[in-house]
Amino acid sequence: MNLKDVRAIITGGASGLGGATAAMLAEHGASVAIFDRDEAGGRAHAEAIGGQFYLVDVADDASVAAAIDAGERDGGIARILVNCAGVAPAIKTVNKEGQPHPLDAFRRAIEVNLVGTFNVVAKFAARLASVEPIGEERGVIVNTASVAAFDGQIGQAAYAASKAGVAGMTLPLARDLAQHRIRVVTIAPGIFLTPMLRSLPQAAQDSLGLQVPHPSRLGRPEEYAHLVESVIANPMLNGEVIRLDGAIRMAPR
């Protein structure tokens, strides 16, 4: 699919993996719609890349529906969706004081990372199914899981469960949407230099990077965006979860 003038939605597109992906798509001539809760950052990034910003909570049904309606009015029906919006709580099942994991925190991780991803996928695909294909496909969905889906660490029960759900629904989504000629692929990043990691001391960043077998460093958001570009370009990539992690397998902590 040629990206020029194609409408694309990026959730979590204000910064990090989503921000790099939004910039990559804009550089290739796509019309980019950033869906994010960070209004200031999202508007600034959209302005910088020539896209549009929509204030969206992916876990809220009405919020997503309204943003898709507005985005369609502004730039037409999107053919590309990249879901990067997410939260990453770090809470043990039982803390040092013997208190259980707060259920609302567990539920919020599932609501944003898993339910939110599906919410946007379903609404995006329903709109896209009504337009004519370009060649042999109508469009592409790229979801974001994490290596935590497979080797979650201590304190990652909620996060790992949510990302395992994203990985687990990849194949059934691809099978569901095959009749509409819409592909679905999930990327499972390892340790990437996102805004959260940038807030850590440099020594901590370096230590995390050394855990990666090769290259022994933190992943760059642009490398995630490059894989998104490759997924879009290759029509035989469908129904698969791709680890992007430098061969890391996470230790318990």
Active site residues: 159
Query: Could you count the other beta carbons within 10 Å of the beta carbon of residue 106?
Result: 19
Beta strands across the sheet bearing 182-189:
52-55, 31-36, 7-11, 80-83, 139-144, 182-189, 241-244
CA dist 188 and 249 (Å) reads 12
What tokens were used for 101? 């994991």
Rounded to whole angstroms, what are the CA distances from 129 to 28, 78, 178, 201, 238?
24, 11, 11, 47, 17
